Structures are given as structure tokens and as C-alpha cells.
């Protein structure tokens, strides 16, 4: 831990515990990657997958973000899961219940085909477990058009807020509704592609997907 990941505001809500960090990363889907190009800051949203202390990201080989990061530029990756709106009696104390990770490190381009395929599998399985074995793998042309980065987490911190609003003591007697509006990601009924020809049944791993999302809400 250095000053980059030092917890300053509400440090009691945070930690540097690896298992907590990994659990939040595994429950999330979307990362926001921060980096600089010629001194100008950029933040780009992207899907990711985790394996140990590595995050894998992919995209077009022409992507400005990926081309910049492949040179080994320092980067910051943030993942946040919103669990609820916290409505207090005062406007000042409104908040959110959330789980978040901020990770710092360096990204490198993966060169070897076997490692590229393994990283793409990690990303696919993170998105929905069981999918990689149920699709056509990338062709040689597709692999050439795709860049895959391995982001090594050098240090990271997490913050979690949960529970009811925290008001000033004198405000608890005010006649305003206060409490939590829970928010969670859920999966609807799978909708088949109208151009699908060879298969009509929905695979079990897709039908059971809501169960995984439910486990991530805890």
C-alpha cells in the first residue's frame, strides 16, 4: 500500500483485504479504466475478467485505450456495485449503499496465442459461466483484430457502505420518510435470437443465471 491506495475519507468503510477485493471484482461486470494520453486524462468503460491478481480486458486492436496501455502505462481500474439508495431526513446525509474497488497497476499486451485464448475464456466465463464451451472459438482473423491486455494489480483498496441513513441526532424527530431503496441487477427471461436455426432449448447455465446474480447481491 502507498499513498495511491491509502484510505482517507471514511477509512472505517474500507480495507485492503484481498479476499474482499476479489469478491467485489467477481460480482461486478463493468470496469472504468483511467489513464493519461499526452497528459490528458481519459476514463473508458470496459468488460473484464479476473484470475488471481490479474484483470483481463479486450477490444479492437485499433482501440486508443488498449494501444496506450499496451506500452505499460500506469492505469487505475474502478469497479462499483450499487446496492441501494440511502434516503436521509436531511439532503446533506443522502447516500448510497455500495461496494467498490479501486485498483492501481500496469497493463501489458498479451502476445502468445495460447495466453490470449485463455484470457478471452476468463472474460467470457466472468460474463456468464459455461458460455466459452458453448460457442465457436475465435478465428485467426478475429484474433488478429483483437487486443488483449493483462492488468497486474499492484495495490488496491475497497470501500463498502451498508445500512440505514445516518442523520444528525436532532433530525431523527423530523417528520420526513427515511430509509433505503434497494437496487440490484437481475436477469430477465432469455430471449432467443430470431435468426437462430439449429437450437431452440435454452442452456441450463443461461436459465440458472439469475441464481448467480442473486448470490452476488449479498
CATH number at residue 23: 2.30.110.10
Residue 192 lies in a domain: no
- Residue from 152, 183, 156 nearest 14 by CA: 156
Q: Does residue 3 belong to any structural domain of this protein?
A: no
With a threshold of 0.85, does the pTM exceed it?
yes
Say if 49 falls within a structural domain.
yes
29 found inside a domain: yes
173: how many CB neighbours lie within 10 A of its CB?
Answer: 8
pLDDT by residue for the chain (218 residues), tens only, comes to: 677 777 777 778 888 999 999 999 999 999 999 888 778 888 989 999 999 999 999 988 877 777 777 777 788 999 999 999 999 999 999 999 999 999 999 888 899 999 999 999 999 999 999 999 999 999 999 999 999 999 999 999 999 999 999 999 999 999 999 999 999 988 888 988 988 887 778 999 998 888 888 777 66
Domain-located, residue 211: no
Query: Regarding beta strands 14-15 and 146-161, do their DSSP bridges make them parallel or antiparallel, or are they unpaired?
Result: antiparallel
Q: Dig out the grid coordinates for 4 from the structure.
A: 495511491
Closest CA to 28 of 94, 99, 91, 86: 99
Spatial distance between the Cα atoms of 100 and 120, rounded to a whole number of angstroms: 24
- Residue listed under C-alpha cell 450499487: 82
Quote the number of domains for the chain. Answer: 1
Q: Which domain holds residue 144?
A: 11-183
Tell me whether residue 209 is in a domain: no
Q: Is residue 50 part of a domain?
A: yes
Does 88 map to a domain?
yes
Amino acid at each position: 500500500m502507498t499513498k495511491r491506495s491509502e484510505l482517507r475519507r471514511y477509512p472505517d468503510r474500507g480495507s485492503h483485504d484481498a479476499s474482499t477485493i476479489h469478491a467485489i471484482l467477481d460480482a461486478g461486470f463493468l470496469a472504468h479504466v483511467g489513464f493519461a494520453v499526452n497528459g490528458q486524462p481519459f476514463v473508458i468503460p470496459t468488460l473484464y475478467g479476473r484470475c488471481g491478481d490479474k484483470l483481463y480486458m479486450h477490444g479492437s486492436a485499433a482501440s486508443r485505450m488498449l494501444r496506450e496501455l499496451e506500452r505499460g502505462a500506469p492505469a487505475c481500474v474502478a469497479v462499483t456495485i450499487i446496492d441501494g439508495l440511502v434516503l436521509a431526513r436531511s439532503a446533506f446525509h443522502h447516500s448510497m449503499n455500495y461496494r467498490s474497488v479501486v485498483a492501481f497497476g500496469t497493463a501489458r499486451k498479451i502476445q502468445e496465442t495460447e495466453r490470449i485464448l485463455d484470457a478471452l475464456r476468463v472474460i467470457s466465463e466472468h460474463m456468464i459461466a459455461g458460455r466459452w464451451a458453448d460457442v465457436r472459438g475465435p478465428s485467426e482473423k478475429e484474433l488478429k483484430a483483437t487486443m488483449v491486455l493483462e492488468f497486474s494489480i499492484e495495490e488496491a483498496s475497497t470501500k463498502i457502505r451498508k445500512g440505514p441513513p445516518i442523520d444528525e441526532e436532532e433530525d431523527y424527530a423530523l417528520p420526513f420518510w427515511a430509509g433505503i431503496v434497494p437496487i440490484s441487477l437481475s436477469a430477465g427471461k432469455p430471449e432467443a435470437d430470431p435468426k437462430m436455426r439449429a437450437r431452440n432449448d435454452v442452456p441450463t447455465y443461461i436459465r440458472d443465471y439469475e441464481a448467480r446474480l442473486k448470490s452476488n447481491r449479498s
